[in-house]
A and B are shown apart, each in its own frame.
Chain A
Amino acid sequence: MFILDIVSSVLLIAGVFFGLSGAIGLFKLPDFFTRVHAASVTDSIAAILIIFGLLLQTPFDLNTAKLLFILTFLMITSPTSSHALAKSARHGGLLTLSEEKEKQQEQTH
C-alpha cells in the first residue's frame, strides 16, 4: 500500500502542476488560440492525472467505478469543448498571431 500511496501522490502533484501551468498560461499567453491550448491542458492531462491519483487511493469499490466514469466522460467532453471553442472562433473570423502578422505586413507593403 505504501508504494501505491507514493505513486498516487506523484500523480496528484503532477496533476496540480499541470493545472497550475494551465491557469498561468491562460493569463500569460498572447491570443485566443494559445489560451485555448493552455486551458485544454488543465482540462485534459491535469484532470486525468488527478483522477488516476484518486483512483489509487480508493479500495477498488463503487467509488473506483464512479471515478472511471467521470474520467471517461471528461476524456470525451473536454477535448470536444476546446475543439468547438477554437473552431467557432475560426468560424467567427479570428486569426492566429502569425496570420495576423502576415496580414499586417501585406497591408504595409
Chain B
Amino acid sequence: MGEFIDLVLLAMLALTALRIIFLKDLFAVVMLFGIYSFLSALIFVNLDAVDVAFTEASVGAGISTVLMLGTLALTGRKEKENTHSSILPLLVVCITGAALIYGTLDMPPFGHPDNPVHEHVAPRYIEQSPKEIGLPNMVTSVLASYRGFDTLGETVVVFAAAIGVLALLGIRRKEDEEAPESGLKSHHVLHVVAKIIIPLTILFALYVQFHGDFGPGGGFQAGVIAAAAFILYTLVFGLSKAMAVVGPKFLKLMASFGVLLYASVGLYSMYKGGQFLDYNKLAVDPVAGQHYGIIIIELGVGITVFAAMLSIFYAFSSQAERSNIQ
C-alpha cells in the first residue's frame, strides 16, 4: 500500500514538473511549484521522514512561494519568448538524463536494510544518541549536535541570502502615506480573521521552536512559520504598519544575532576546554550540556531564519509598492 501511494505521488510529481516546463504563465508556475513541494512533503511523510516533510511544507511550499510571488510583482508574470535554438540544450539534457538513469542501475535496492546508508553512521546514532544526548527526537540530535557544524553552515547560508537580497534591493521605508489603495485595505473579514490567526501562528511557531527536541520541528520551521505570520500581517494591514511593528533595522540586528548566538555557543565550549560546538562541556553533566546547547543553537537558527525571511519579503514588497506608485 505504501509503495502504491509512493508511485501515485511520484507520478503526480512528474506531471507537475512537466506542466511547469511547458507553462508560459509564471504566476501559475509559482503555484505549481507550491504543489510540487507539497507533493514531495507527502512523499517524505510516507517515508517516515516527518522532520524533512515539515521543512519542505513550510519552506518549500510556504515561504518560497510567497517570495517568488514577490519577485513576480517586480518582474511581471509572462515568460519571455525564447529565441535560441533548443537543440543543443535538449541534447545536453538527454545525455545527462541518460547518465543519471545509468547511474541508478548501480544503486542499492530501495529500502534494503543492508544498504550502505544504513551501515555507516546511522546505527551509531541510533544506538548511542539516547545515551549521549537523550532527546526523543533523534533527528534533532543529529542535526543540532552530531552535525552541529553543518547546521551552522546552513544558518550562515540563510543569513548570506538575506544580505545578498538586501544589498541588491534594499528596504525603502516610506515616510508619507501615499501607498496605493490595495483591495485588502477595506476588507473587514480578512482583518478580523487575520487578527485571530496571527497570534495563533506565532504561538505555533514558538511551540515548533521549543518542542523540536521532542517531536518534529526546530529552528528552521519555527523561523519560517513566525515569518509567515508577519507576512500575513503585511499583506492584510500594509507594509508601513508591519514595519512599525518589526522594523527593518531590528531585523538586520536579529539576523546577525542568531548566527552570532550559534557561533558563540561553539566558542564558549572551546573556552570551557572542549572542541568547537562540543556541548558536553556546557554543563557539569554532559547530557544536560547537550540539552542546553541544542536549545540555544535552535533558538539562534530560528531567530536568523525568521529575520532573514522577513527582511527578504520586506525588500521585495517595498520595491513592489514603490514601482506601483511610479
Contacts and interface: CB of A to CB of B under 8 A. Distances in A.
Given A91-B183, A92-B183, A84 B197 contact: no
A77 B189 contact: no
Size bracket, chain B contacts: under 10
Interface in B74-102: none
Contacts of B184: 84, 88
A92 B184 CA distance: 11
Interface string B182-218: 0110010110010011001000000000000000000
B189 A84 contact: yes
A80 B183 contact: no
Interface in A49-103: 73, 76-77, 80, 83-84, 87-88, 91-92
Contacts of A73: 200
A92 to B, nearest CB: 7
Contact of B193 (A77, A88, A91, A92): A77
Contact of B197 (A77, A87, A91): A77
A63 to B, nearest CB: 13
Given A83-B189, A84-B189, A76 B183 contact: no
Interface in B152-196: 183-184, 187, 189-190, 193, 196
A33 to B, nearest CB: 16
Contacts of B193: 76-77, 80
Contacts of A91: 183
Contacts, number: 22
Contacts of A88: 183-184
Given A88-B183, A91-B183, A92-B183, A76 B196 contact: yes
B188 to A, nearest CB: 10
A83 B189 CA distance: 8
B187 A87 contact: yes
B196 A84 contact: no
Contacts of B197: 76-77
B295 to A, nearest CB: 23
B215 to A, nearest CB: 12
Contacts of A87: 183, 187, 189
A63 B309 CA distance: 32
Contacts of A92: 183
A88 B221 CA distance: 30
Contacts of B187: 84, 87
B309 to A, nearest CB: 21
Nearest to B200: A73
Contacts of A80: 189-190, 193
Nearest to B201: A73
Contacts of B196: 76
B273 to A, nearest CB: 43
B193 to A, nearest CB: 4
A101 B190 CA distance: 31
A91 B187 CA distance: 11
Given A80-B189, A83-B190, 4 more contacts: A77-B197, A80-B190, A84-B184, A88-B183
Interface of B: 183-184, 187, 189-190, 193, 196-197, 200
Interface of A: 73, 76-77, 80, 83-84, 87-88, 91-92
22 contacts: A73-B200, A76-B193, A76-B196, A76-B197, A77-B193, A77-B197, A80-B189, A80-B190, A80-B193, A83-B189, A83-B190, A84-B184, A84-B187, A84-B189, A84-B190, A87-B183, A87-B187, A87-B189, A88-B183, A88-B184, A91-B183, A92-B183
- What are the nearest 9 A-B pairs in CB distance? A91-B183, A80-B193, A88-B183, A83-B189, A84-B190, A76-B193, A80-B189, A76-B196, A87-B187
